[in-house]
Amino acid sequence: MENLIKQRHSVRAFLPQPIDSKTIHSILDLARFAPSGTNTQPWKVYVVSGKTRDRISELVCNANPNDHHETFSYYPQQWISPFIERRRQNGWSLYGLLGIERGDKDKMIAQQQRNFKFFDAPVALFFTINKIMGIGAKMDTAMMIQNVLLMAKQYGLDTCPQAAWNQYHQIVLQELDAHDDEELVCTVCLGYADPNHIVNTLVTPREPVENFTVFYD
């Protein structure tokens, strides 16, 4: 488990190699044992591939972002230190690998659009909860998603969790024929990482335990 946790990272370039549906079922069958408040198990998962995947991608890529808004704020309205510095470091480390220079808006937009092509992953997992549920349901679902990420790695697959799709929840949920009471929480790209793409060499730093922990005896 230690190796799985350390080896897992967000992959942004996948091979077109298909995934056996039995493997996906096995991953979800293990992930469902995540904890949830009073055992509500609030998550619902849509496994999307093939023509449905392509149709959703095309619709979102052609959508006007000004016409779409997320149902909850994933990021803060105002950034403060040290979070803004970490965010900037992550962004410029990624762009640096891809040869995208500061101010090159066209290349930045093109890279952002890669989100909505699932970074070429053949499978996407859309996680929703019922709108009536509280913030705890999102926390529960996040723990279930972490299980998915780790189990995928166990099966030789890679992932990239995405919040970018939340802005386009109306398009996504309509194409999935989801109920009106559902809210999109997160999307996960699933597939085999392209070992030859430079973007997958990105290693994001982690703060040492001493920087975020207070011990009392």
CA distance 26 to 31: 9
pLDDT, tens only, 128-148: 999 999 999 999 999 999 999
Q: Which of 27, 63, 72, 92 is nearest to 163 (CA)?
A: 72
Backbone angles phi, psi at 165, to 5 degrees: -70, -20
The tokens describing 66, both together, are: 């000004």
Q: What is the mean pLDDT of the chain?
A: 96
Q: What is the pTM of this model?
A: 0.96
Determine the pLDDT at residue 111: 93
Q: What is the pLDDT of residue 102?
A: 86
Task: Kindly tell me if the per-residue pLDDT of 86 is higher than 90.
Answer: yes
